Structure 1
């Protein structure tokens, strides 16, 4: 076991910062413990590693295990938002100002690992969150490897070769259609090139990801928000986000991407942070249609 302590400069909220990295409550690779600490199982450039992070007394303490332990601790400040600059954000709407004031410890995490966020984001394309979370969980449980250290039931995702060699019936068993599985296989085959996006600026990184067929603006933004801590990466093409932003800031219920971008224009360079704060308010338009139905392809 290796350890490291990081001291944030100002208020810090570990749960708000790292909670977005978990893909549902049963994510085998990222779990929030009852005491508020966070466990992560990652495949680093040095190999698999497990990280346990807890905050107390104004400090963040980390423990790491496995071949990737040193890499995880070297990148700990970036993961915890140490490279983020929340001071660059100026609220322009009353609701955003209130959310900003109530969440002074929010930071944008930067994992530095692209495939780790890209693959579950591809799984989330055009399906419900529950379907995507289930697929991610089943794929890691069946094809991942046990996480190093004292992290029972946690799994490290397969390496790129492992993803590329998954047979079609295993994708079907997890409820993943052919379009999404083919996109993941293409991404895995170009894994080394895609991982380079973690060191690029947002525009160049998005272009690198979207060069892969099947990866569009939605998937690229969802990935870079986590891998790069991209403060301006707005999720475009989302079913809910434009309506939530539009309703929160104007009271109108049927916003689209164009209206959302217009409303977020005062936050240029910080538009993703503005969206995070709006989502934290819990303000959403009243539901007028039934929930999106689940289409389980495993029954086909």
Structure 2
């Protein structure tokens, strides 16, 4: 009997990020969590664990703040890549200069309570785009259930000492091979799965948009050139992949009302939300993050949700 040698344990890589200011790791990385039970995201005590698909391969990332330092450990084929890009993941390059909320009592208080909030930049476009497509037209709960199912089935085990059950999401080639019946089993109808397929076919082109900076209209237009991707999906992607500070999610069912109640004391529609955000053009996603991270909740009364198609907003 031939006994195959055990695979060597993944080598650990470490770095310490010293930004010169406090970074709230949980608040900064929270947008990467796709609901409770996300196989690619885990919070264990003071450590945030990520299972990421990088251009260099899968990686497990453990991140922990100690004072004004952030300690990062990585394992897997993408370990060195993740170490190199860890500062941007934690907000390096996210410039809040010129963002003045002193004239708005709600935002001034929210900013005071969240001094360590930064906008993350993952430097991975398709990895952020696919879950955004899955979240089109359905409730978050439905989308996150599909995400969990597909990542567990088609992802790979997170390397190194990741918490049990963590998995690295599939790469573009693997997404392209998911058969139609598996999309159906996960609750993803042909419209969304076809959009994923169109996106992953041009994955290399989408990744090149990272060279264009932290988002903006040109990047959004590149994403929206793919049929099935509209303003909402592009914004949800570039907020995370590029660290876009000015990409409010227009077309969202809940956000306009939240923004309206927070800033004007009444619900508004998309146009009303954009009008309220206009004084902070260039920083509108920062305003959104301050509001949603503040713990503010809009009044619970109102109509039941009607599912909207975000693809064409």
Q: TM-score range by the shorter chain?
A: over 0.9
Secondary structure of the corresponding residue to residue 250 of structure 2: coil
Report deviation, 1:291: 4.4
Q: Which of 230, 236, 248 does residue 262 from structure 2 map onto?
A: 248
Q: Which of 74, 80, 89 does residue 84 from structure 2 map onto?
A: 74
- Between the aligned partners of 1:31 and 1:293, the Cα distance in structure 2 is 31
Equivalent runs, 1:150-299 vs 2, <5 Å: 150-151=161-162, 152-201=164-213, 202-253=216-267, 255-289=268-302, 291-292=304-305
- Between the aligned partners of 2:116 and 2:56, the Cα distance in structure 1 is 31
Report deviation, 1:293: 8.0
- Between the aligned partners of 1:181 and 1:31, the Cα distance in structure 2 is 26
Report deviation, 1:281: 2.8
Secondary structure of the corresponding residue to residue 136 of structure 1: helix
Answer whether contact 2:60 2:160 (CA < 8 A) is retained: yes
TM-score with structure 1 length normalisation? 0.94
Superposed CA deviations along residues 2-51 of structure 1, whole A, max 9, x for unmatched, are 11000122222111001111101211112121x12111111111111111
Report deviation, 1:81: 0.3
Q: Which runs of 5+ in 2 are unaligned?
A: 1-11, 308-313
Answer whether contact 1:45 1:68 (CA < 8 A) is retained: yes
Q: Which of 150, 154, 158 does residue 147 from structure 1 map onto?
A: 158
Superposed CA deviations along residues 177-231 of structure 1, whole A, max 9, x for unmatched, are 1111110111111111111122224211111110110000000000000001100
Number of matched residues? Answer: 292
Equivalent runs, 1:130-141 vs 2, <5 Å: 130-141=141-152
Poorly superposed stretches of 4+, deviation over 6 Å: none
Report deviation, 1:160: 1.1
Secondary structure of the corresponding residue to residue 159 of structure 2: coil
Secondary structure of the corresponding residue to residue 32 of structure 1: strand
TM-score with structure 2 length normalisation? 0.90
Superposition RMSD on alpha carbons, in Å?
1.4
